[in-house]
Structure 1
Amino acid sequence: METLYPEIKPFARHELAVDDTHQLYVDESGSPDGLPVLFVHGGPGAGCDSLSRRFFDPRLYRIVTFDQRGCGRSTPHASLENNTTWDLVADMERIREHLGIDKWVLFGGSWGSTLSLAYAQTHAERVHALILRGIFLCRPQEISWFYQEGASRLFPDYWQDYLAPIPQEERGDLVQAFYKRLTGSDQIAQMGAAKAWACWEGRTLTLRPNPQTVERFHERALSIARIECHYFVNDAYLEPNQLLRDMLKIAHLPGVIVHGRYDVVTPLDNAWELHQAWPNSELQIVREAGHAASEPGIIDALVRATNAMARRLLDLPLDEA
């Protein structure tokens, strides 16, 4: 199986002001003259880390990572102001222009797949190809499955902890109930709700229990919970079924879809429906995997995909990538 590339440090860091409120953290690593690729992180609200750069051969790729509005090293932290899908799409285009990149590959997982599709459908002429993992079409049924009823039946023990901050009388609409607390003035209630939300997601992310994954979600609980909830109460600022509806705009672009068979966060039907609407895509279903990018089978599929895409776009022989 393929594994991650060794850790590397960025060769450039940028702090990019995108409006009067938000400043984005952006970095570049790998080869300055390589094939540009943008790592689009999940959440919304998670952020990038050193793992984000390691899916790509640094000899072949110019690797760009950035923390979306309110996430990671971008400021202000956990801010919901001017924070919509279309603000983020505009930010990605701003980054491309700032770095002088003509076209790039998009590499996105979970919410990162949502945002990558939204960007590509808006700026198809700026995209070479897409490599997407853990497809999240961000429709009401996906939100309901994971945050209201569905995944709850698979993990009733974890679900009990998720429900704990919400009184019985408010459990008919859990996303709204969490949003009330995550945007309220009671900081103790806010952090209690954020940790319950983030812990539920972290505990269900992997096929096998992974305490390190749960810990990472705890560390980012406030931005993950606030920003995710903000997006979900607003239907991710997408029209009904918009991403599938607009696949004709990018049907010509090559793509690889990687999805865990036992993904309970964003079930496999998301990837299946996207693949059916995208004839130029390749769907790889990883048998022993859930949702997380850190699972061995997912890593293997993604690294193989990035290597194959570099060979294809750079017209390299097999033994040079």
Structure 2
Amino acid sequence: MEQTPVDFEDGLLDVGDGHRIYWRAQGPRHAPVMLVVHGGPGGAMDIKWADALEADKWRVVFFDQRGCGKSEPFGKLEHNGIDALVGDMEKLREALNIERWAIFGGSWGTTLGLAYGVAHPERCTGFLLRGVFLARREDIDWFLWDVRRVFPEAHRAFLDAIETACGKRPKTAQEILALTEAPLARFDDAGTKLARAWTNYETTLSVVNKPEKEKDAPDEEKRPSAEANSAAISMALLERHYMANELPPMPLLPLVARIAHLPCRIVHGRFDVVCPADQAIALAAHWPGADLSVVNAAGHWTFEPGNIAALKIGAKALAEAIGKA
């Protein structure tokens, strides 16, 4: 059965510093607005996230962050930091003439969504967060190094790829960030192979319950080669850039009090080894009114059945809470 085409509007917004961000808006114009904040850093919007929302309940706004997706220029690291991205979100709100909106973020999108929220609490109506990433040093070290205790084969293959590209095998998380800077920045064949290895490593860690049907596989497994290469380059390049230069940001947890009066629904896979569940529990502890759903038999990937089911429940509850406010 063919799906009914979704009416949408889109464009490129000049945010300064030589950057233009791509955005897309869809859904009823009279409905409350939900801003979708993608992961990475270096990921891109995925309009399938809207499937977790009731289509008639939200006006959904997507955007690609600086340097990735359809934003221009591709892969630019200059003027690409968390404060700039928060500023871009506010410029997008103003450009679209939106008074207030809810934030739907996953993984790095939770970091950026929270950073925007504590900077502009008066512009937020509520939060739907999946796979919380607090971007503390221990969270970065876990992803780059300590997770080898759970995925030793994947971590060994990751280090093999770095050694092939750099001629040296990293011995710490900080060495991973130092050694991968030059090859990832070259955009040549060796850099692309390293970017693909970085992305494959993250994908391997992300999925616990992968749906059997090919059509439900993660997008990166279905993309044409050139598109997959670009997606891998932006993900690896920008993740390395942010982990080395932008993170940890100002500690987020002490600032949550600025938005703790707003409704929040948190969904986190029990077996998320990209962003372990202690981060979601720590966030909930600083947000007394937040509702936390830890999903058993689910990992980091948004589209695992348990995560999607919990997100749909959370989105419906968030819409009701906003409607009563």
The answer to whether TM tops 0.5 is yes
1:260 aligns with 2:269: yes
Deviation at 1:188, TM superposition (A): 2.2
Could you say which residue in structure 2 is the equivalent of 1:116? 113
Which of 141, 155, 161 is residue 159 of structure 1 equivalent to?
A: 155
Which of 226, 231, 235 is residue 237 of structure 2 equivalent to?
A: 226
Within a 5 Å distance, the mapping from 1:201-220 to structure 2 comes to 201-209=202-210, 212-213=217-218, 215=221, 218-219=228-229, 220=231
Deviation at 1:169, TM superposition (A): 4.5
Deviation at 1:235, TM superposition (A): 4.1
CA distance in 2, matches of 1:237, 1:181: 23
The SS at the match of 1:132 is strand
Could you say which residue in structure 1 is the equivalent of 2:171? 171
Aligned pair in 2 of structure 1 residues 132, 186: CA closer, same or farther (>3 Å)? closer
Deviation at 1:216, TM superposition (A): 6.0
Could you say which residue in structure 2 is the equivalent of 1:305? 314
Could you say which residue in structure 1 is the equivalent of 2:32? 35
Residues 140 and 235, structure 1, Cα contact 8 Å, conserved in 2: no
Could you say which residue in structure 2 is the equivalent of 1:190? 191
Count of residue pairs the alignment pairs up: 307
Residues 7 and 50, structure 1, Cα contact 8 Å, conserved in 2: no
Residues 203 and 209, structure 1, Cα contact 8 Å, conserved in 2: no
The one-letter amino acid of 2:116's match is Y
The one-letter amino acid of 1:191's match is T
Aligned pair in 2 of structure 1 residues 105, 152: CA closer, same or farther (>3 Å)? same
Gaps of 5+ in 2: none
Within a 5 Å distance, the mapping from 1:1-321 to structure 2 comes to 9-148=6-145, 150-167=146-163, 168-172=168-172, 173-183=175-185, 185=186, 187-209=188-210, 212-213=217-218, 215=221, 218-219=228-229, 220-236=231-247, 238-239=249-250, 242-315=251-324
Gaps of 5+ in 1: 1-5, 317-321
The one-letter amino acid of 1:153's match is R
Could you say which residue in structure 2 is the equivalent of 1:319? none
The one-letter amino acid of 1:299's match is I
The SS at the match of 1:246 is helix
Residues 96 and 102, structure 1, Cα contact 8 Å, conserved in 2: yes
CA distance in 1, matches of 2:316, 2:7: 20
Residues 85 and 237, structure 1, Cα contact 8 Å, conserved in 2: no
Q: CA RMSD in A?
A: 1.9
Q: Percent of pairs identical after alignment? A: 37
TM-score (norm 1): 0.90
